[in-house]
Structure 1
Amino acid sequence: MAWPAPVVSPSTSPPAAVPCPYVSIPTIPPTPPSPERDPGAAVVGGGRLGTTGLAVAPGTAAPPTLSAMSWIVADLDTGEVLGACAPHLRRRPASVQKLLLAATALPKLDPALVVEATAEDLALPADSSAVGMIVGGKYPVSTLWLGLLLQSGNDTANALARVAGGDGGVAATVAAMNAEARRLGADDTHAVTPSGLDAPDQLTSAYDLALIARADFARPDFLAYDTTLVFQWPAQPPKDPKGFQIQNENKLLTSYQGAIGGKTGFTDEARHTYVGGAQRNGRRLVVTIMGAEIVPARAWKQSTMLFDWGFALPAGTSVGHLVTPEEAAVLHSPPPPSTGPSAVAVALPARGGYSIWPTVIAVGAVALTAIVFGAVMVIRRRRAA
């Protein structure tokens, strides 16, 4: 019998942290500390993912040595987590935040809708990544998605969020992004900006990024935008009479066999972040990386090392599970009210370790109580007669 996949696992006895293979870069200024996790809280995706170190299946080859502070390798189709390093460590997302914007706003916006750029859309720090929108310029939503995903335009992120939020503007879209994260089970995630520019309390995790990427990679429109290699940005006469060409910054697409998309990111507080997808021999994997440096290679290149490692693992290798939105809904539902001593609480089983006996014992206790009660009533009736 196939039992349901787990939503959470208790972490009252967290696994001992096995250090991840890590290249230390002491010259980089410290980044904001990650919030400490409640050791008594349940671990979304399975107890083994509660570690602050390495989680790999017994007997598997050692993963590559990276400079990333956290990472995850998971199967996009089955949801199995093949391996991870500090998967629930909460850190700044940088521009991989745009994947959550896509998951939230792609279903809402008509790609043919024409958006007029405002000064607020372009109100960005001087060193911010921008595709080059012009105040008063008119851009189809489809063009804005290409500017967002190919060139990581923070100006396009602002414009998309403003339009998707309706009368509530950007703030409404950020609230919707947080709601979408919760729907997906990405409970480590809190969005403050639509673009991923650093902000206090803006956090996510390698595990959550895998959940968000899984939602994006399931959408054909996202894949079409995300895998476009070059695009001619439209002219905006008279300020820009010719337009210009933009190129996809995700080098995985042209450098790794089977690449199906992804997103780069960098800020001073996040350092390098990366999300990528690839397929090989009928398997589709997602790799997420947080807090990396460019040693031993750039983040996208470090992802190829994890892809090679993951594809070499046997099918079915698992240290955890990417929850589905349905499982997340169960996770977020309040427990049913107790109806007294006879109430029976049935917990979701741990994957691969389900035991039917606790349920049998609980149900048996209820049945025994009913039998005893019935016998007492029969005796009382006989005495009354």
Structure 2
Amino acid sequence: MSSSTTPRFRFQIAATDGKARTGTLTMQRGEIRTPAFMPVGTAATVKAMKPEAVRRTGADIILGNTYHLMLRPGAERVAKLGGLHKFMNWKRPILTDSGGYQVMSLSDLSKVTDEGVNFKSHLDGSRHLLTPERSIEVQRLLDSDIIMQFDELVRPDVNAEKQREAMDRSIAWAKRSRAEFDRGGAHAERAAIFGIQQGVLDEKLRKESADALIDIGFDGYAVGGLAVGEGQEAMLGCLDFAPDQLPIGKPRYLMGVGKPDDLVEAVRRGIDMFDCVLPSRSGRTGQAFTLDGPINIRNARFAEDTSPLDASCECPTCSTYSRAYVHHLVRSGEILGAMLMTEHNLSFYQRLMSDMRAAIVDGRFDAFANEFLDRYRRRGA
């Protein structure tokens, strides 16, 4: 399908099973099958992976980071070099987050006002002002396919006044983000923008946030402000109501989540899209995900284990190399160890997405989820 006949953005739900949904998000740079997991390419790279290898795992879309890319190499430089896709040789869709999470995580270097966030670069100490307008501009310069509104998130242990303040500010920033996106000319005609629901764990705040975002109007909606220390039980409690507050016909994106069992539980509650650094970060630190739970390949018991990381996995790592060899590489600090582990973990995540999509189509998602969770949580090393 040519770009001239491909819609700017279309989300079609093909099947549902309870609250779980599967479908296709169509954009000019390609289709995204949902539920979808987006590998994180913070600085224009999914660490330890070539872009073509990321695609071979089954990824339809990756995530880039506004905060990091605006600091290095610079959004204007990326634009001059032809945009992020050309720069990193990724031809499919890219979603860019707005920088809000980094603002929170680097709070000792930043000051938040209604205008935006004044922060000090963690690289060289230079001062920057990140506003909703600048966040959208940076994402436009990167030529992102899915732009995220600029938002403020706070940790769940802050007081109710600060929770309300952050939610209200995020709504105000959502209006400014939407307006700036609409001023984007040709880019706005081929890209999409998502709003981000905030409100920590408070159902009423979440509903107020969702209603305001719906009034503004976005192509998709994210559940933000989770996976920041509240724990799985609290997160799932929030997901029992938060996705239901968002439009049924729009994609729902749970930001920054998570472990394999988190993904299954979230799909059960109506989430369509995910991103997380966990599979790639864990790959670099020696943790491999398997159907029987995560294993620490550094453990001495794998030193002479000739079996693959996961006997049920057909990824290049599991098809070619033994646990003993990967154990040796990781223990020796060899770069290949990180590469093989990351390739497996990303393949595991994409296979999980594929299996969930198939289970929803077949009307057996609950049975699949219960079987997966029982096996995955039974053991881990």
TM > 0.5:
no
- Higher-Rg member (1/2): 1
Q: In proportion to residue count, which structure has more helix?
A: 2
TM-score, length-scaled by structure 2: 0.29
TM-score, length-scaled by structure 1: 0.29
Bigger RCO (CA 8 Å, 6+ sep): 1
